Amino acid sequence: MAATGSTYRTCGCRDGAGRRLRARCPKLRRADGRWSTTHGSWNYQLEMPLHADGTRRNPLRRSGFATQDAAEEVNQAKELLAIAGGDTEISVQIADLITTSVRTTKTLPIPEEVPRARSASATT
């Protein structure tokens, strides 16, 4: 299964009942339909491989990007996951590494830190 990721723009506005409007806030778009440059911030969500025991892993979610950096980071995360080359065990390790790295440092691991399948490990 290929990793799918999406970026979306949200803000902190709430409706009359106190619920977050998230992407539904009308102020996020300008009258001409383009994204507002002053309201809200970019977020992304990326589906992650299953845990080693086969249970579902929460998607990788990050918020608060000022610009389309969110889309760039999604692509970087997808590239990291793609290093597994379809190897389930490696993809679990990479997903663990990404999750831990984002939680502790707020950044993705660099490709050199990512485990590789044994057949492609000539450089490690």
Binding site for Zn ion (CB under 5 A): 11, 13, 25, 27
Query: In this structure, which amino acid lies at residue 26?
Result: P
In the bound complex, what is the minimum distance in angstroms from residue 39's beta carbon to Zn ion? Answer: 6
In the bound complex, what is the minimum distance in angstroms from residue 58's beta carbon to Zn ion? Answer: 25
Query: In this structure, which amino acid lies at residue 29?
Result: R
Q: Which is nearer to Zn ion, 27 or 118 (CB)?
A: 27
Query: How far does CA 118 lie from the centroid of its chain?
Result: 26
In the bound complex, what is the minimum distance in angstroms from residue 23's beta carbon to Zn ion? Answer: 10
Cβ–Cβ < 8 Å for 72, 62: no
Q: Which is nearer to Zn ion, 31 or 122 (CB)?
A: 31
Q: Which is nearer to Zn ion, 13 or 117 (CB)?
A: 13
In the bound complex, what is the minimum distance in angstroms from residue 5's beta carbon to Zn ion? Answer: 23
Q: How many CB atoms lie within 10 A of CB 108?
A: 20
Query: How far does CA 104 lie from the centroid of its chain?
Result: 15
Q: Taking the CA atoms of 69, 71, 75 and 81 in sequence, report the sign of the dihedral they define.
A: positive
Q: Which is nearer to Zn ion, 20 or 61 (CB)?
A: 20
